[in-house]
C-alpha cells in the first residue's frame, strides 16, 4: 500500500489519505494515537473502533447497501484501506442541482430503508456522508454506526437525518418528504417507525 503525502480532512478521530492498493486507487482511514489517553487504553480503543467500523461496512454490503469495498485492515496501525468511490457528495449535488432532489431523495430513502431493515444504523446520517455513484447512493463513514439496532436506534438515526437535511438544504423541505415517503414504502413496519420518530421529536420539544 502506498499513501500520498497529502492528507485529507481531519475528523474528530480520524484522518483520510489518498492511497494505492495493488494498483487500485484507494482511500485510507487512519485513527492516529491520542496523547491524552494511556497508550495501552488508546491502542485498544482505536483498534476496537477500527474493527467495529469495518464490520458494519461488511454487514451493510451484505444487506445490499452500497459502501466502499474494504481492501485491507491493519488493527495495529488502526487503518482501513478501502475503495475510492467516484462521484459527487450528495450534499454538493443537491446544492448544485436542486431540480434533481426528488430523484436523489427517493434513492436515499430506499437505501436507508434497506440498511434499517437489516438492523444497521449509520449514526451520522447526513448528505455529506453519501456519494452519488453510478446512479446509486453509497454510504461512507459508518464509524458511529451499530448493528443489531433496536427501534430506538432507528428512530434516532432518522431524527439525525431529518435535522441534518433540513439544516443543510433549507430550500428542499418538500424533497425531504419525498425521501421519507420512499423510506416508509420500503420498510416492513412503517407505522411503528413513524410513532418512534414522533416520540423522539416530542422529547426534544419538552427537554
User: Is residue 7 scored above 70 in pLDDT?
Assistant: no
The segment(s) of the chain belonging to CATH 1.10.510.10 are 88-205
Span 193-202, average pLDDT = 96
CB 194 within 8 A of CB 188: no
Residues 99-146 have pLDDT tens digits of: 999 999 999 999 999 999 999 999 999 999 999 998 999 999 999 999
Residues 35-77 have pLDDT tens digits of: 899 999 999 999 999 999 999 999 999 999 999 999 999 999 9
pLDDT at 13: 78
Residues 138-175 have pLDDT tens digits of: 999 999 999 999 999 999 999 999 999 999 999 999 99
Out of 124, 141, 153, 157, the active site residue is 124
pLDDT at 206: 47
What is the reported pTM?
A: 0.90
Residue with cell 461496512: 57
pLDDT at 203: 86
User: Is residue 4 scored above 90 in pLDDT?
Assistant: no
Which residues are CB-contacts of 176 (< 8 A; sequence separation ≥ 6)? 105, 162, 165, 166, 169
User: Is residue 9 scored above 70 in pLDDT?
Assistant: no
The segment(s) of the chain belonging to CATH 3.30.200.20 are 2-83
Alpha-carbon distance values, 152 to 34, 119, 128, 163, 191 (Å): 31, 11, 23, 16, 14
pLDDT at 207: 46
Question: 183's torsion region: left (phi>0), alpha (psi -120 to 50) or beta?
Answer: alpha
CA separation for the pair 188, 47 (Å, rounded): 35
124 is catalytic: yes
pLDDT above 90 coverage of the chain, percent: 90
User: Is residue 180 scored above 60 in pLDDT?
Assistant: yes
Q: How confident is the model at residue 82 (pLDDT cuts 50, 70, 90)?
A: very high
**What architecture is domain 2-83?**
2-Layer Sandwich (3.30)
User: Is residue 8 scored above 70 in pLDDT?
Assistant: no
CATH superfamily of 88-205: Transferase(Phosphotransferase) domain 1 (1.10.510.10)
Q: How confident is the model at residue 205 (pLDDT cuts 50, 70, 90)?
A: low
pLDDT at 5: 42
Average pLDDT, the chain: 93
pLDDT at 1: 46
Amino acid at each position: 500500500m502506498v499513501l500520498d503525502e497529502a492528507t485529507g480532512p481531519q475528523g474528530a478521530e480520524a484522518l483520510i489519505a489518498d492511497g494505492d492498493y495493488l494498483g487500485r486507487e484507494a482511500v485510507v482511514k487512519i485513527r492516529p494515537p491520542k496523547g491524552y489517553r494511556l497508550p495501552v487504553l488508546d491502542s485498544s480503543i482505536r483498534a476496537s473502533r477500527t474493527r467495529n467500523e469495518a464490520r458494519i461496512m461488511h454487514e451493510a454490503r451484505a444487506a445490499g447497501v452500497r459502501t466502499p469495498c474494504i481492501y485491507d485492515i491493519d488493527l495495529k496501525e488502526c487503518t482501513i484501506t478501502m475503495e475510492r468511490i467516484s462521484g459527487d457528495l450528495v450534499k454538493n449535488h443537491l446544492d448544485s442541482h436542486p431540480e434533481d432532489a426528488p430523484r436523489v431523495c427517493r434513492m436515499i430513502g430506499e437505501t436507508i430503508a434497506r440498511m434499517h431493515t437489516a438492523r444497521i444504523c449509520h449514526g451520522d446520517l447526513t448528505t455529506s456522508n453519501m456519494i452519488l455513484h453510478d446512479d446509486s447512493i453509497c454510504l461512507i463513514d459508518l464509524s458511529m454506526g451499530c448493528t443489531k439496532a433496536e427501534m430506538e436506534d432507528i428512530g434516532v438515526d432518522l431524527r439525525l437525518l431529518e435535522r441534518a437535511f433540513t439544516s443543510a438544504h433549507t430550500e428542499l423541505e418538500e424533497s425531504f418528504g419525498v425521501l421519507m415517503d420512499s423510506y416508509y414504502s420500503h420498510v416492513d413496519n412503517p407505522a411503528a417507525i413513524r410513532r418512534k420518530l414522533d416520540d423522539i421529536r416530542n422529547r426534544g420539544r419538552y427537554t
